[in-house]
C-alpha cells in the first residue's frame, strides 16, 4: 500500500525508473523488474563461483591447507556454502505490475474470486492459465452481503509453467492463503479491491517429491481502483519462487505469467455472467425468456430472415430461444461442468447467442450475480450445460419479456 501511494503522488505516476525496469507489457498492464535485486543476485553468483573455483583446484587447496591451515580452509568452504544458500534464498526478484484494464471493478473482482473447486476450474478454463491440479484445503471466511467478493481460503495448486517451458523440469505446487475483497479508503472514500496470495508452511501438508512436484513459494499483493467508468487501475507487487536450481530468467517468467492473469479476470467475469444468464433463463426464469416474436423476422433488428434467394437464414439464441439474423448473432465458447463418477469434468461448448443477451450479461451487476451464485444450494448447478431442447420444455410453463428485463412476469398462452 505504501508503494502504491508513492506511485500515486509521483509526478509521472510510475515507479522509480532507476530501480524498476519495464520488462514486458500485456495490453495496458506493464511489468517492472527490480534491477537492484537482479544486480545483487548476479554479484552473489559471481562471488560463489569464484570461491568454488578456488576450492575445486586441488593443488591450490593443498597449498592453502599448508600455508593458512585446514581450519581456515574449512571456514572458506563454510562461507562458500553459506553464500550459496543465501543466493538460493535471494534469487527471486520482486516485480511490480501496474496499468489499466477495460472493465468495471465489480467485474474484475468477480472474475478473480471463486467459492468452490468447480468454479476455480471454470475460471482456469476461461483464463487458459497453467493450473494443472487444485484443491481448497480450508474455507476460513465467506462472502457477506456488504462485501460479496470477500473470501479467505487456504489452497493447494499445481502449476505446470516449468514443464511447458522445459519438459525435463518438474511441476511446482504451492500451498497458500488467498484473501480477496473490497474495502473503502479512509482518505479518499473510494472502493479498493484487493487480492493477496501468500505461501504458508502448514503442519501436515508436506512436500510431494513422489509425485515429482517441487514445493514453490509465492507472494502476490494486488490492488484495484475504479479510475473511471469502464476503466480499472491495477497496482501489484509480487514474486514467485519456483525452488530448485532454476535460472533467474525462468523465475521472472513465472512471475510475469502470474501478472498476466489479471488481464483475463474481466473476460472470466463476462463469460461466467453468460453462464449465470443461461442458468437463470432456463431454470428460474426471472423475467427473462422468449417473447413469441414473429419468427420470420430477427427478434433484435426486425430484419427478414431470408437471403436474396428466398432461403431462411437465422440462428436460435441459446438463452432467450429467439431467432436472430447473422448480424445479431454471436457465437461464444462457454465452459460447463459435467459430473463424473469421482469428481467432475470441465467441457467447452460453442453456443449461439444474440447480441441482446450478450449485452444484458455484460451490463448485469457482478455483485448481484456473485450473491445469487453463493445463495444457490448447489453453486455447481449454475455451470451445468442445459440443452436447447430442455430449455424450450422449461419455457412452456412460464416465459418473460426479453426486451423488458426486470419487468413483470407473464404467463404463456397454451
How does DSSP assign 87-155, residue by residue?
Answer: HHHT----EEEEEEESS-HHHHHHHH--SSHHHHHHHHHHHT--EEEEEEEEEEE---SS-TT-EEEEE
Q: Do residues 344 and 121 make contact, with C-beta atoms less than 8 angstroms apart? A: yes
Highest mean pLDDT among 12-26, 60-74, 317-331, 392-406: 317-331
Segment 337-348 mean pLDDT? 79
pLDDT of residue 414: 37
Segment 231-242 mean pLDDT? 88
pLDDT of residue 306: 73
Give residue 152's pLDDT band: very low, low, confident or very high (50, 70, 90): very high
Q: Please classify residue 96 by burial: count the beta carbons closer than 10 Å to its beta carbon, then call 0-12 exposed, 13-18 middle and 19+ buried.
A: buried
Residues above pLDDT 90, as percent of the chain:
26
Q: What are phi and psi of 399, to 5 degrees?
A: -145, 165
Segment 64-75 mean pLDDT? 49
- Per DSSP, helices labelled H in 18-57 are 35-56
The C-alpha cell at 66 is: 599448508
C-alpha 118/C-alpha 357 separation (Å) is: 25
Give residue 41's pLDDT band: very low, low, confident or very high (50, 70, 90): low
Give the mean pLDDT of the chain: 76
Q: Residue 220's beta-bridge partner residues?
A: 197, 238
In whole angstroms, what separates CA 79 from the centre of its chain? Answer: 42
313 compared with 3, residue with greater pLDDT: 313
Give residue 79's pLDDT band: very low, low, confident or very high (50, 70, 90): very low
In whole angstroms, what separates CA 28 from the centre of its chain? Answer: 17
Segment 304-311 mean pLDDT? 67
pLDDT of residue 27: 85
Can you give the pTM of this predicted structure? 0.76
Give residue 90's pLDDT band: very low, low, confident or very high (50, 70, 90): very low
Q: Could you tell me the sign of the dihedral formed by the alpha carbons of 243, 247, 248, 254, in that order?
A: negative
pLDDT at 400 over 70: no
pLDDT at 332 over 70: yes
pLDDT at 287 over 60: no
Kindly list the distances between the CA atom of residue 152 and the CA atoms of 143, 181, 183, in Å, as whole numbers in the listed order. 9, 9, 14
pLDDT at 413 over 80: no
pLDDT at 44 over 70: no
Q: What are phi and psi of 198, to 5 degrees?
A: -145, 125
Give residue 331's pLDDT band: very low, low, confident or very high (50, 70, 90): very high
Segment 166-194 mean pLDDT? 84
pLDDT of residue 392: 52
Segment 186-198 mean pLDDT? 89
pLDDT of residue 333: 93
Burial 217-235 (b: 16+ CB within 10 A, else e): bbbbbbbbbbeeeeebbbb
The yes/no answer on whether domain 2-33+93-266 falls in CATH 3.30.530.20 is yes
pLDDT of residue 294: 65
Q: Which residues contact 412 (CB under 8 A, 6 or more apart)?
A: 292, 395, 396, 397, 398, 399
Amino acid at each position: 500500500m505504501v508503494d502504491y501511494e508513492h506511485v500515486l503522488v509521483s509526478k509521472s505516476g510510475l515507479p522509480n525508473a532507476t530501480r524498476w525496469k519495464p520488462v514486458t507489457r500485456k495490453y495496458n498492464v506493464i511489468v517492472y523488474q527490480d534491477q537492484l535485486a537482479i544486480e545483487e543476485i548476479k554479484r552473489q553468483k559471481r562471488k560463489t563461483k569464484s570461491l568454488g573455483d578456488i576450492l575445486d583446484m586441488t593443488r591450490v587447496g593443498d597449498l592453502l591447507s599448508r600455508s593458512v591451515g585446514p581450519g581456515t580452509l574449512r571456514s572458506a568452504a563454510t562461507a562458500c556454502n553459506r553464500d550459496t544458500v543465501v543466493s538460493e534464498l535471494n534469487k527471486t526478484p520482486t516485480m511490480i505490475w501496474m496499468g489499466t484494464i477495460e472493465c468495471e471493478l465489480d467485474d474484475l473482482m468477480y472474475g478473480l474470486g471463486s467459492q468452490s473447486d468447480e468454479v476455480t476450474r471454470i475460471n482456469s478454463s476461461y483464463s487458459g492459465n497453467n493450473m494443472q491440479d487444485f484443491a481448497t484445503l480450508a474455507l476460513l471466511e465467506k462472502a457477506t452481503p456488504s462485501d460479496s467478493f470477500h473470501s479467505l481460503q487456504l489452497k493447494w495448486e499445481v502449476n505446470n509453467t516449468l514443464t511447458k517451458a522445459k519438459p525435463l523440469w518438474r511441476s511446482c505446487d504451492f500451498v497458500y492463503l488467498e484473501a480477496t475483497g473490497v474495502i473503502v479508503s479512509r482518505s479518499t472514500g473510494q472502493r479498493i479491491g484487493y487480492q493477496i496470495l501468500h505461501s504458508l508452511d502448514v503442519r501436515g501438508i508436506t512436500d510431494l517429491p513422489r509425485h515429482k512436484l517441487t514445493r514453490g513459494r509465492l507472494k502476490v499483493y494486488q490492488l484495484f481502483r475504479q479510475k473511471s467508468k469502464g476503466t480499472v487501475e491495477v497496482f501489484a507487487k509480487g514474486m514467485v519462487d519456483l525452488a530448485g536450481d532454476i535460472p533467474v530468467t525462468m523465475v521472472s517468467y513465472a512471475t510475469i505469467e502470474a501478472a498476466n492473469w489479471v488481464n483475463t479476470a474481466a473476460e472470466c467475469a463476462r463469460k461466467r455472467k453468460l453462464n449465470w444468464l443461461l442458468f437463470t433463463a432456463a431454470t428460474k426464469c426471472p423475467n427473462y425468456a422468449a417473447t413469441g416474436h414473429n419468427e420470420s423476422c430477427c427478434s433484435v433488428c426486425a430484419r427478414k430472415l431470408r437471403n436474396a434467394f428466398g432461403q431462411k437464414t437465422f440462428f436460435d439464441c441459446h438463452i432467450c430461444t429467439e431467432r436472430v439474423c447473422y448480424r445479431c448473432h454471436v457465437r461464444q465458447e462457454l465452459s460447463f461442468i459435467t459430473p463424473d463418477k469421482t469428481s467432475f469434468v470441465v467441457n467447452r461448448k460453442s453456443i449461439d447467442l444474440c447480441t441482446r443477451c450478450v449485452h444484458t450479461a455484460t451490463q448485469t451487476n457482478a455483485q448481484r450475480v456473485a450473491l445469487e451464485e453463493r445463495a444457490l444450494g448447489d453453486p455447481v448447478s449454475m455451470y451445468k450445460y442445459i440443452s436447447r431442447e430442455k430449455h424450450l420444455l422449461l419455457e412452456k410453463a412460464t416465459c418473460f419479456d426479453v426486451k423488458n428485463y426486470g419487468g413483470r412476469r407473464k404467463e404463456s398462452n397454451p
